[in-house]
Each structure stands twice: as structure tokens, then as C-alpha cells.
């Protein structure tokens, strides 16, 4: 863990879903490093225990709360266990979701659609609703969700996935309006090409050519935006999303098909060299 000397989340309780690895784990570990008590969720109990062990070994406070967050009963039990142990939840980070979902629309079926909706979208509703119910009574709280560029653009072969991410962004804006009078802020982050799913070096090299900043992202790249939105520095921000994508979403065409030459740049002008 890094930034262990910074304790801006001292005394706060953070619940991170989908924290068994990747972005969720990186975020959970950084919250703990900055003083938060962290409830670590994932559907895989062994992965949860590994993250909790890493946090506690580094001197942080963490609680294992394995659960299927698409199941209402398990979500309720997860929050109850967290509250019994830590007292309350100040920050909910909705990160759980399926990413290996590619299927051409014509090959899609109801079971495929329903499963992705349940895990990626229903879970955000269930967790956010449960968290907000308690946060509203305390007149404070932060809810953050992980979206995707697929919320506003499209991935081929990912109709269901993109629909869930669009739903998350619409939910975030609507929840922000409903919950603002209760002192609850609702925001999100939009990862670009973040390497969390074991691509080969060749696949990485091909994909990172589409990123204007010239490299793929790693899970730790997402941490800063998430912690900023959870912090008091973002006290007047709600209903918004921060893209952490190396510039992918601002371009009209990816680098490998652009009409302006990309190879060989950046070139530093002679008078600046």
C-alpha cells in the first residue's frame, strides 16, 4: 500500500464491492492505507480473505464480507455484518460486475441478458438503496459506482454490458437528485483500457496503440479519482463521472486509423529541445 502517512479517511467506514482483485482491490487497499476501516466484498471468499490479510498485515483495518451482491438477502446480510462490526457505512464503492460478457446481439438469449443485468445493474441498486437508507438518517454519505465508456459509446458484442453501464450512469444522476437533500453525494468513475484481466503482451501492445497517452492503464490508476470523489475535497460534486482513460473517450478515431500521423510523435520542436 502507498500513501500510508495520509489519514484523510481516519474514522470513516468504506464498503467496496468486487474488491477481490483489480480495481476494487486497489481502491480498498488505498482507502485502508489512508485510515479508513474497509469492508471487503467479493463473491469469492478466498479472494476476500487475501485482501483482508494484506490490509491488516500493512496495519490497516478490514473486514471480510463475501456475498453475491445481485442477491437482496445477501446484500442485507453484508451491510448488517459491516454495521455490527464497524457501526455504519460512510462510503459505498459499487465496483462488482461481470466483464467477460461478449456475445453478438443475434446470439444473445434471455439467460445471458438477465445474468448481466442482475450482476452489473441490479447489484448497484440493491447496495445503493441499502446504504442510502442508513446514510439518510445520518445526513451524510458517499456512493460511488464504476461505469464504462460503454455507457455513452458502444462495444461491439456487448449490448447487455453497455446497457448496464448506461443504466448505472442514469441511476447515478437520478440518485444524486433524490439523495442530495440528505447530504448524500452520488458519483462515479469511468475506466478506460485498464489491464485487470490477464491479456498477453501482444494483446496489450495492440490495444494500447488506441490510447492517446500511449499506454494501457493499471488498477492503481483508478484509485485517485475514487478517493477524490469520496473525500471532502469533492464536497460540492454530485451526479458526475470522472473518466480515467488516458484520453480514449475524447478522440473521434483511434490512433491506428486516424488520418493524422501518430507514429513518431511526440516531436519536440527544435526551439524547445
Q: Residue 5 pLDDT > 50, yes or no? A: no
Q: Is position 100 within any domain? A: yes
Q: Structurally, how many domains does the chain consist of?
A: 1
How far apart (Å, rounded) are the C-alpha atoms in residues 226 and 242?
9
Q: Is position 269 within any domain? A: no
Helix 223-230 with 22-33: angle, nearest 10 deg: 50
Q: Give CA 102 to chain center in angstroms.
A: 20
Q: Is position 183 within any domain? A: yes
Q: What percent of the chain has pLDDT over 90?
A: 78
How far apart (Å, rounded) are the C-alpha atoms in residues 141 and 137?
10
Q: Is position 28 within any domain? A: yes
Mean pLDDT lowest for which of 69-73, 119-123, 194-198, 204-208?
194-198
Active-site positions read 161
Can you give the residue range of the structural domain that contains 180? Answer: 13-257
Nearest Cα to 94, choosing from 117, 127, 59?
Answer: 127
CATH number for the domain spanning 19: value is 3.40.50.720
What DSSP character marks residue 61? E
Q: Is position 7 within any domain? A: no
Q: 262 or 9: which carries more pLDDT confidence?
A: 9
Question: pLDDT tens, 100-142?
Answer: 899 999 999 999 999 999 999 999 999 999 999 999 999 999 9
Q: Is position 4 within any domain? A: no
Mean pLDDT lowest for which of 127-131, 202-206, 231-235, 237-241?
202-206
CB 21 within 8 A of CB 196: yes
Q: 208 or 182: which carries more pLDDT confidence?
A: 182
Amino acid at each position: 500500500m502507498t500513501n500510508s502517512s495520509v489519514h484523510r479517511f481516519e474514522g470513516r467506514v468504506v464498503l467496496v464491492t468486487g474488491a477481490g482483485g483489480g480495481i476494487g482491490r486497489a481502491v480498498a487497499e488505498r482507502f485502508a492505507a489512508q485510515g479508513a476501516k474497509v469492508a471487503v466484498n467479493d463473491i469469492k471468499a478466498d479472494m476476500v480473505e487475501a485482501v483482508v490479510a494484506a490490509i491488516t498485515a500493512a496495519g490497516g483495518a478490514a473486514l471480510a464480507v463475501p456475498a453475491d451482491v445481485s442477491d437482496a438477502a445477501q446484500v442485507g446480510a453484508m451491510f448488517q455484518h459491516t454495521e455490527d462490526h464497524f457501526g455504519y457505512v460512510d462510503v459505498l464503492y459499487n465496483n462488482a460486475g461481470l466483464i467477460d460478457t461478449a456475445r453478438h446481439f443475434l446470439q444473445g438469449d434471455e439467460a445471458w441478458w438477465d445474468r448481466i443485468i442482475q450482476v452489473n445493474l441490479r447489484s448497484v441498486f440493491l447496495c445503493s438503496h441499502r446504504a442510502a437508507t442508513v446514510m439518510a438518517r445520518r445526513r451524510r454519505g458517499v456512493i460511488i459506482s464504476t461505469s464504462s465508456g460503454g455507457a455513452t459509446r458502444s462495444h461491439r458484442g456487448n449490448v447487455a454490458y453497455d446497457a448496464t453501464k448506461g443504466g448505472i450512469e442514469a441511476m447515478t444522476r437520478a440518485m444524486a437528485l433524490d439523495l442530495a437533500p440528505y447530504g448524500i453525494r452520488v458519483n462515479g468513475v469511468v475506466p478506460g483500457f485498464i489491464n485487470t484481466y490477464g491479456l498477453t503482451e501482444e494483446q496489450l501492445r495492440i490495444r494500447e496503440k488506441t490510447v492517446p497517452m500511449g499506454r494501457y492503464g493499471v488498477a492503481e490508476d483508478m484509485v485517485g479519482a475514487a478517493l477524490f470523489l469520496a473525500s471532502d475535497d469533492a464536497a460540492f460534486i454530485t451526479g458526475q463521472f470522472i473518466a480515467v482513460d488516458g484520453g480514449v473517450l475524447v478522440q473521434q478515431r483511434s490512433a491506428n486509423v486516424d488520418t493524422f500521423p501518430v507514429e513518431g510523435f511526440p516531436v519536440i520542436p527544435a526551439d524547445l529541445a
